[in-house]
Structure 1
Amino acid sequence: MIIVTGATGQLGRRIVDSLLTRVPAQRIGVSVRDPHKAQPLADRGVRVRQGGFGEPASLAHAFEGATQVLVVSVDKLGEEAVRQHRAAIDAAVAAGARRVLYTSHMGAAPTSHFQACRDHAATEEALRACGVPYTALRNGFYAASALQFLGSGPETGEIVLPADGPVSWTAHDDLADAAAAVLADEGRFDGPTPPLTAAEALTFDDIAALTGALTGRAVKRITVPDGRFAEQMMGHGVPAETADHLLGIFAAARADEFAAVDRTLATLIGRAPRTLEEVLRERLSADRASAERR
């Protein structure tokens, strides 16, 4: 049985949806913190069991009968993130899984400027030491994050952010399809994959120009010092730790940690990955439709 963790989250839910088009539902199980939220999957024949990385004892039941376990990374940082990932890896091995897979990140390295990438590197080290074959899916940076940073820029005509560098912004749906393809073809990758990215890397200068072209109005990219950006975020109630984490993304981008572009994702999903332009156009269309309903 293929077990997918975090199956009610943004990525995990899409992975299970894609996996259901490739393998029978009875071969799929999910481990979720709240089984009620996964009822739609149960209705489709997927085995749903409660399991949380923060409660390692719960994972033995959740992972029972596993042949492969996909550990979807948690939304924690630092030692707590790595501790929870290790708990899930250990539970997968104890359950007898032949392979453990993990949603890692492009640029994963102990020296990364981005805390999450340092956490991914530490988790990959735990995978290497776990004693069974593993696959680390080195996902490109989520395109949804670019839209979050863009914020109200399309309406205000300004994108106010720290200096950045090129980033291979990649759609959740494409990464989910890639994970499902790898799960359905066990052993396709041993160890870390190449970066799973869209076909281009864009800076926020590029995104400002793209936004202007799509909206028909000028959008200006304004660069602010890291410290001022952090102060602005904290002034809006963002915790200092979160502000520092977000600044790490820009520092890593300036160091070209997310600039790689690779064809592996396109090969896995059998089509060209979605571009940021497509993702942004969809977001702008949804915003217009919402405004018209108000």
Structure 2
Amino acid sequence: MIIVTGATGKLGRRTVERLLERVPADRVGVSVRDPRKARELADRGVRVRQGSFDDPASLAHAFEGAEKLLLVSLDRTGEECVTGHRAAIDAAVTAGAGRILYTSQMGAAHDSRFQACRDHARTEDMLRATGLPWTALRNGFYASSALQFLESARHTGDIALPADGPVTWTGHDDLAEATAAILLGDARFEGATPPLTASAALDFGDVAEIATRATGRPFTRTVVPDGTFREQVLAHGTPAPIADLLLSIFAAARNGEFTAVDPTLAELIGRQPATFRTQLERAWAE
């Protein structure tokens, strides 16, 4: 059985859908905090069990019978994130999982300027220490993050953000399709995969040009000093740790941590990944 955590989230749910296109529902199980949100999956024959990263015993039950486990990284940072991942990995070992696949990030490194990438590196260390077969999916930076940064510019026409660097913004749909292919054995990766990225690295100056062509409206790129950006987001009610986390994305981008462009994702899905323009047009049409 293939078990997927976070199956009601953006990546987990898409991955489950791709799996169900190719295997019977009784070969798929999900571990979710709130089973009510996965009722539709249960109605289709997917095994739904409650599993909380804060309750290791629940995870061991949710992971029972896992030939392969997809551990979708937590939406947390720092020690809280690593502790949750440790609980899930220990539960997978207890449940006798055959292989653990983990949604890491292309910039995973202990010296990254972005806290989440340091958390991914520590989680990969824990996977390596289990002695189990494991795969770290080095996913490209999610394009949905760039679209969130653009939400204000969507109305003002000015992309006013800190100085950045090129990032290979990559779509959830393409990553879910590749993840399903790896889970089903279409490709075998031991340890960390190559970067699973879109086909172009873009900075927000490039994004302004893409938005202009896509909408027919002029978009400009204004560089905002880091301190000013922090004050702005704090003024809108963002907690200070989140403001600092957002700033660290730009610091890491300036450091060249998200510039890799690799063909592996295209090879896995059998086509070129969606361009950023396609993703922007799709999001802004909603």
TM-score of the superposed pair, with normalisation by structure 1: 0.96
- The amino acid that maps onto 2:155 is E
Cα distance in 2, alignment partners of residues 54 and 202 from structure 1: 37
Alignment correspondent of 2:11: 11
- The amino acid that maps onto 2:213 is A
Alignment correspondent of 1:150: 150
Query: Which deviations, in whole Å up to 9, do the C-alpha atoms of 1:238-269 show, x marking residues without a partner?
Result: 00000000001000000110000000001111
- The amino acid that maps onto 1:281 is E
- What is the DSSP-based 3-state SS (H/G/I as helix, E as strand, rest coil) of the residue aligned with 2:102? strand
Displacement of 1:284 after TM fit? 2.3
Displacement of 1:214 after TM fit? 1.5
1:278-289 alignment runs, 5 A limit: 278-286=278-286
Displacement of 1:154 after TM fit? 2.8
Query: Which deviations, in whole Å up to 9, do the C-alpha atoms of 1:18-70 show, x marking residues without a partner?
Result: 11112211111000000010011111110000001111111121111111111
- What is the DSSP-based 3-state SS (H/G/I as helix, E as strand, rest coil) of the residue aligned with 2:176? helix
Alignment correspondent of 1:82: 82
Alignment correspondent of 1:168: 168
| Contact 2:73–2:85 under 8 Å retained in 1 | yes
Cα distance in 1, alignment partners of residues 95 and 116 from structure 2: 27
Displacement of 1:155 after TM fit? 2.2
Cα distance change on mapping 1:205 and 1:167 into 2, 3 Å: same
Runs (5+) with no aligned partner, structure 2: none
Displacement of 1:187 after TM fit? 6.8
1:17-28 alignment runs, 5 A limit: 17-28=17-28
- The amino acid that maps onto 1:199 is S
With 112-121 and 275-284 compared, the bigger mean Cα shift is at 275-284
- What is the DSSP-based 3-state SS (H/G/I as helix, E as strand, rest coil) of the residue aligned with 2:245? helix
| Contact 1:72–1:103 under 8 Å retained in 2 | yes
| Contact 1:112–1:118 under 8 Å retained in 2 | yes
Are 1:245 and 2:242 matched, yes or no? no
Cα distance change on mapping 1:186 and 1:125 into 2, 3 Å: farther
| Contact 1:154–1:215 under 8 Å retained in 2 | no
Are 1:112 and 2:115 matched, yes or no? no
- The amino acid that maps onto 1:61 is H
Cα distance in 2, alignment partners of residues 153 and 195 from structure 1: 29
- The amino acid that maps onto 1:100 is I
Cα distance in 2, alignment partners of residues 12 and 256 from structure 1: 28
Are 1:233 and 2:243 matched, yes or no? no
C-alpha RMSD over aligned residues? 0.9
- What is the DSSP-based 3-state SS (H/G/I as helix, E as strand, rest coil) of the residue aligned with 2:59? helix
1:39-54 alignment runs, 5 A limit: 39-54=39-54
Cα distance in 1, alignment partners of residues 91 and 97 from structure 2: 9
| Contact 2:181–2:187 under 8 Å retained in 1 | no
- The amino acid that maps onto 2:42 is A
1:61-72 alignment runs, 5 A limit: 61-72=61-72
Displacement of 1:186 after TM fit? 7.2
- What is the DSSP-based 3-state SS (H/G/I as helix, E as strand, rest coil) of the residue aligned with 1:100? strand
Cα distance in 2, alignment partners of residues 136 and 20 from structure 1: 22
- The amino acid that maps onto 2:196 is L
Are 1:59 and 2:59 matched, yes or no? yes
1:134-149 alignment runs, 5 A limit: 134-149=134-149
Identity of aligned residues (%): 66
Moved over 4 A (4+): none
| Contact 1:154–1:212 under 8 Å retained in 2 | no
